[in-house]
Structure 1
Amino acid sequence: MRLTFGTAWRRYSLILAVLVTLFAVACGASEAPSAPAAPADTAMQQEQPVAQPEQPAQEQEAAVPADARRLTETRQFESTPTPEAAMASATATPVPTPTPGAAVTSKTEIIFVTQEEPVSLGTFSDGCSGNVPSTICEEIATDPFTWIDSTTFEVVPLSGVETWSQVDPHRWRFKLREGVTFHNGEPWNAEAAKFGLDWSGDPTSGGGYGFHGPIGGEVVDELTVDVVCENACPIFPRTAIFTPFQAPNWYQNASDDERELNTIGTGPYQVVKWTPGVEVEIEAFEDYKPNTAFDAQAPAITRAFQVWRGESLVRAAMIQAGEADWAVDIGFENISEVPAYKTGTNNEVFTLVADNIWHPELSKKDVRKALALGVDCQTLMEVLYDGLQECIGNISQWGTVGINESNYADYGYDQDMARELLASAGYYKPDYDPSSNNFDVNEEIRIHTRADRVYRGLEMFESVVAGWRDLGVNAHVVVLEPNKAREHRRSGCGKFVTKNDDGSQNREIALACADQDPPPPVGSSTHYYETATSNEALDMQRQLYLRNSCFNVNSRVCNLAPGFDGMSFEESINDAVATPLGPERLRKMEYLAQIIHDEYWFLPFFVSVQVYGMAPNLEWEPRYDPRIRINTMRFTE
């Protein structure tokens, strides 16, 4: 668009506002450390750095990427299978690339630093989510059925699976490995697998539901189990990376507290002790049964400690001082503060999820569009991220089946159009006076976020709110502690799915989600909530099930727009998901992704580019996603 004087001045003002926000946050870093648990709805205080850097970071093989798109195109998707190749790899078990010998390490303990303390260590808990603070319960203490190799993008088995094959469009058969046990000695068999599959396929409980939809297990024999999908499921093995398992007998007899404090899985490490506010200790599982897949190798590091620090500079300083060996998200500006680092995208789209149903203003498309046009994303990326992040307009990264140039394009910046849309939508109250900008008389629109989820995320949202207030929007940022943030995420339409007496699901009320009052645990509008949403399967099926279906607790979308070919949006989701890989599936996924883009149900910003601080002798490569497997790490001399 043509840069008028007014637009140029507004961008200059935004830059000043962002710099002021950064200065304020930087000053806050000098405050004394806070208690381990910060009060709800307040920003966490920052901790003092543990040490000052003494030497520059060593040279890395790859420079920091120019932008996220280039990184995904050059690093991640050169090896992405074509639909035809992916179909072939989905219907038969690929042969993993053999791992050379047993890993050798010069050091057997590791300390890794995350942004937050985990909410739960139970893989079946609502608090176990697909981000790095949850890595122990998500992918270290439990082995799902399958994994996606980060170099070939092929689906490979983890420790509990021998082979799989598709029996019919709704059924996949998995042959399990003999001799695998859970951490407490319970046997891994078809009954145990069925227990986990039934949990994963239940929208009222299963976190994997957002990948594969409604599924269940059927025992064929002692070491053979069928996965039965309610909808045809041509890509199920790619989505089976989110099929966690726990020892059935232990889980059914454990107390609620025990379920939150532990995962008794089959993964390469088992939980030793969680000291709240301090650390989580895990140790290598002696009876882990590795296979030839890189991510299913036997652990060389025998003991690990997860600690957490909210400030990126503190995480970097811990690496520099030798107090930690690996740290997530240290930020581009702190690269010189660590002896070694790695960079990579992590597949997570940092986005705001609008309450499209229960908020009186966000339920209006023109208001959502106005707010999108009122964000000068490009300037924010330049000021906050040195231009290394790319503004995008959808909730899954480039390279996903269904994402194209049209539905990935960012929304642009046009404050004049934003004001016109707000006025025509009736947002402005009669006593609102633009000359005095008494925005607080208008309906409040909040951004609910976490303090340290994404590098400089809080500063970005403060700047977004400043721009919205300039439009006359009564906007505020509310910082939530992790438990409250989880409640906001999980107060969506899927809360109305109930169970009948025979155990079947009753979804009638969920289909009429818009006619209900906001469900618990929040019980009121969640306005905008922030999330960093991943799509490891690289297919829009994941985001359709997770954030656009009437039946998911994370969704604020339920048939809010028509689908394709005369079907409702929910019917179109089921039809697209059931379509085999190929041009027709691509067409349907692109159509639905375009609706998501054009309806402004979400306000995406960028695909996260992570900088990981590392000890100089730690060998580890980032994946294309936020999954961390400590058994793939080792120390050199």
Structure 2
Amino acid sequence: MPPIFRAMALMGLAMPALAMPGLATSALAMPATVQRAADAVTIGVAAPATSVDPHFFNAAPNSQLASHVFSRLIERDARVQLQPGLAESWRAIAPTVWEFRLRPGVTWHDGRPFTAEDVAFSLARAPHVPNSPGGYGSFLRLVKQVEVVGPLTIRLHTRQPHALLPTEIAYISIIARHAAQGATTEDFNSGRAAIGTGPYRLLSHSPNDRTELARNDTFFGPREPWSRVTLRFIGHDAARTAALLAGEVDMIDQVPTADLARLRAEPRVGLFEIQGLRLIFLQADFSHDGAMPFVTDQAGQPLPRNPFLDLRIRRALSLAIDREVLAERVMEGAARPAGQWLPPGVYSHDPDTPVPPFAPEQARRLLAEAGYPDGFRLTLHSPNDRYPNDARTAQAVARMWSRIGIRTEVAALPWASFSARSARQEFAVRLSGWGSSTGEASYFLANVLGTYDPAARRGAANAGRYSNPALDLMVDRAAAILDPEERERLLRGAVHLASEEVALIPLFHLVNAWATRAGLRYDARMDERSLATGLRRAQ
């Protein structure tokens, strides 16, 4: 039995699979007894990476792991501001041409030199990874040509002026052509192709368990203080908190909301928080016209037509939700009610798109107008180990919908299973999340609400298959506008249109939180990534 489970048993606590909500608070009584090597750290993460392949799946856990092993042309700091990475500088040398000057003297983990050919190879591969549940093609949708000018100079030619290219290119990990040519995603998972230029080298990756990393002593950036880093998957909230207090891990992410108040007063712990960019939302299925899975009448018979294609139904579902209750009770104050995917104060947040009101009587009238005076039945699918209180949130929404006559059951699944099935459009309605870590609206518009079109590299994360050509056109027009004020005006219009259409149902924005053992500090990130590069000894 692992030490943390022994500790929980000695304290009279249930094992993680059977734990109750109060477990996290009880875990705070555990003594910190495990000693750790001074230059090695273990980070307890709430969600596992589904692959080491940095181009396989555009999901935060995968990007988090990739950020340790691989570098990008442009990096983003904790406040999502752009910083030089493998590119020392970049500039638009023509309306549709961006030039990147690459950093000299960079080597791969195996000692071979990094060149512009590696960049060209990476940009060609990223949109075309087989079996990807949601890849990186949207970031390159406007790139029509990659020109290698010299060993350390590369130019990207775009189909139209594209002001956001530096922001979007910051998401593409650069991989080694000599190691990855012809490689599969499994070759990355085994380590054979996982040769990067990042601050850490991959030692091993055990899916749904842990990833072991070693410091890259030839890294082009500042020398890391940690010789070894372990990213350990601990999906259960109480076990994550207990592992920190037992000294088994040095930092945890997604601090359980039930523990926040007491952890702030715990002298053995440092707590680090920041307003996040992740929206938790509900996404209905638009891919079926007729009968669809997990939706029936009250007698259990399939409905003849997909009810979510009716705007009145979507509005009713949104109006039936009390977002204040979700944020204050379910999330225990660690979230803010939302009516759009960007929080206030962020570029292209639309001030004319408010948080939808809680109006259950109006929701019932809309259901009746749409031909469902007695409501219907559905299943809401949710992950149970991906976002803070994800399954609890789904249960709360189910109760709210049931009160207006839409009898709702919840099916909560592990993230690996949920994400794969969601990408295959197997769900009627899903609870999901998206972090707009570009700090502007087009990232969500292109990936989550853009019409699914692999050829156009649009809609990679649009699991619901919502489609609105007018919205797509607005996003394309905004991308071509170099003036930031004019571009923001158009993006705000797109945000408002998506809201009027109820293209999805926003619930709340997360407040990101990390806890460390005493003596450490973490540079809390708006993009919620847990990076060893942000973990340092306290001064």
Measure, in 1, the Cα distance between the counterparts of 2:436 and 2:185: 30
- Please state how far the C-alpha of 1:255 moved relative to its aligned partner: 4.4
Aligned residue identity for 1:179: G
Structure 1 residues 559 and 376: alpha-carbon distance in aligned structure 2, compared to 1, 3 A threshold: closer
1:217 to 146, 155, 161: 146
1:475 paired with 2:475, answer no
**Identity among equivalent pairs (%):** 20
The residue that corresponds to 1:464 in the other structure is: 397
Measure, in 1, the Cα distance between the counterparts of 2:461 and 2:538: 43
2:180 to 251, 264, 271: 251
Q: How does 1:153-172 map to 2 (within 5 A)?
A: 154-158=81-85, 160-172=86-98
1:53 paired with 2:28, answer yes
Contact 2:283-2:464 at 8 Å conserved across structures: no
The residue that corresponds to 2:471 in the other structure is: 569
CA-to-aligned-CA distance 1:62-91 (integer Å, 9 cap, x gap): xxxxxxxxxxxxxxxxxxxxxxxxxxxxxx
Measure, in 2, the Cα distance between the counterparts of 1:485 and 1:277: 14
TM-score relative to the length of structure 2: 0.84
- Please state how far the C-alpha of 1:224 moved relative to its aligned partner: 0.7
The residue that corresponds to 2:136 in the other structure is: 208
Structure 1 residues 45 and 242: alpha-carbon distance in aligned structure 2, compared to 1, 3 A threshold: farther
Aligned residue identity for 1:472: G
The residue that corresponds to 1:283 in the other structure is: 214
Q: How does 1:128-139 map to 2 (within 5 A)?
A: 129-132=58-61, 134-137=63-66, 139=67
Measure, in 1, the Cα distance between the counterparts of 2:420 and 2:61: 19
- Please state how far the C-alpha of 1:201 moved relative to its aligned partner: 5.1
Q: How does 1:208-607 map to 2 (within 5 A)?
A: 208-211=136-139, 213-215=141-143, 216-262=145-191, 263-290=194-221, 297-335=222-260, 336-337=262-263, 339-358=269-288, 360-407=306-353, 409-428=354-373, 432=374, 442=376, 444-490=377-423, 522=424, 524-550=425-451, 551=453, 552-555=459-462, 560-561=467-468, 568-607=470-509
Structure 1 residues 577 and 614: alpha-carbon distance in aligned structure 2, compared to 1, 3 A threshold: same
- Please state how far the C-alpha of 1:618 moved relative to its aligned partner: 1.0
Contact 2:310-2:370 at 8 Å conserved across structures: yes
Aligned residue identity for 1:173: E
Structure 1 residues 422 and 44: alpha-carbon distance in aligned structure 2, compared to 1, 3 A threshold: farther
Contact 2:16-2:239 at 8 Å conserved across structures: no
Residues 227-236 or 300-309, more deviating = 227-236
Measure, in 1, the Cα distance between the counterparts of 2:111 and 2:69: 14
SS at match of 2:309: coil
Structure 1 residues 413 and 171: alpha-carbon distance in aligned structure 2, compared to 1, 3 A threshold: same
Q: How does 1:75-114 map to 2 (within 5 A)?
A: 107-114=38-45
Residues 626-635 or 172-181, more deviating = 626-635
The residue that corresponds to 1:174 in the other structure is: 100
Contact 1:193-1:217 at 8 Å conserved across structures: no
| Root mean square deviation, CA, Å | 3.0
SS at match of 2:204: strand
1:194 paired with 2:139, answer no
Measure, in 2, the Cα distance between the counterparts of 1:31 and 1:308: 19
Aligned residue identity for 1:315: R
Measure, in 2, the Cα distance between the counterparts of 1:228 and 1:200: 17
CA-to-aligned-CA distance 1:181-235 (integer Å, 9 cap, x gap): 2223343111110111223456986833344534252211111111222342112
Contact 2:27-2:241 at 8 Å conserved across structures: no
Q: How does 1:135-146 map to 2 (within 5 A)?
A: 135-137=64-66, 139-146=67-74
Measure, in 1, the Cα distance between the counterparts of 2:466 and 2:55: 29
- Please state how far the C-alpha of 1:308 moved relative to its aligned partner: 1.7
Aligned residue identity for 1:181: T
Aligned residue identity for 1:271: L
Contact 1:231-1:574 at 8 Å conserved across structures: no
- Please state how far the C-alpha of 1:614 moved relative to its aligned partner: 0.4
- Please state how far the C-alpha of 1:148 moved relative to its aligned partner: 2.8
- Please state how far the C-alpha of 1:289 moved relative to its aligned partner: 1.0
Measure, in 2, the Cα distance between the counterparts of 1:342 and 1:47: 22
Measure, in 2, the Cα distance between the counterparts of 1:133 and 1:31: 30
- Please state how far the C-alpha of 1:631 moved relative to its aligned partner: 2.4
Measure, in 2, the Cα distance between the counterparts of 1:384 and 1:532: 16
Structure 1 residues 374 and 136: alpha-carbon distance in aligned structure 2, compared to 1, 3 A threshold: same
Measure, in 1, the Cα distance between the counterparts of 2:370 and 2:427: 21
- Please state how far the C-alpha of 1:251 moved relative to its aligned partner: 1.3
CA-to-aligned-CA distance 1:30-85 (integer Å, 9 cap, x gap): 65455xxxxxxxx999998798434999xxxxxxxxxxxxxxxxxxxxxxxxxxxx
- Please state how far the C-alpha of 1:169 moved relative to its aligned partner: 2.3
Measure, in 2, the Cα distance between the counterparts of 1:203 and 1:422: 42
SS at match of 2:173: coil
- Which structure shows the higher strand fraction? 2
Structure 1 residues 225 and 273: alpha-carbon distance in aligned structure 2, compared to 1, 3 A threshold: same
Structure 1 residues 275 and 483: alpha-carbon distance in aligned structure 2, compared to 1, 3 A threshold: closer
- Please state how far the C-alpha of 1:115 moved relative to its aligned partner: 1.0
User: Matched residue pairs, number?
Assistant: 493
- Please state how far the C-alpha of 1:269 moved relative to its aligned partner: 0.7
The residue that corresponds to 2:536 in the other structure is: 634
Measure, in 1, the Cα distance between the counterparts of 2:21 and 2:207: 18
Measure, in 1, the Cα distance between the counterparts of 2:83 and 2:535: 19
Contact 2:136-2:460 at 8 Å conserved across structures: no
Measure, in 2, the Cα distance between the counterparts of 1:163 and 1:289: 15
Structure 1 residues 261 and 529: alpha-carbon distance in aligned structure 2, compared to 1, 3 A threshold: farther
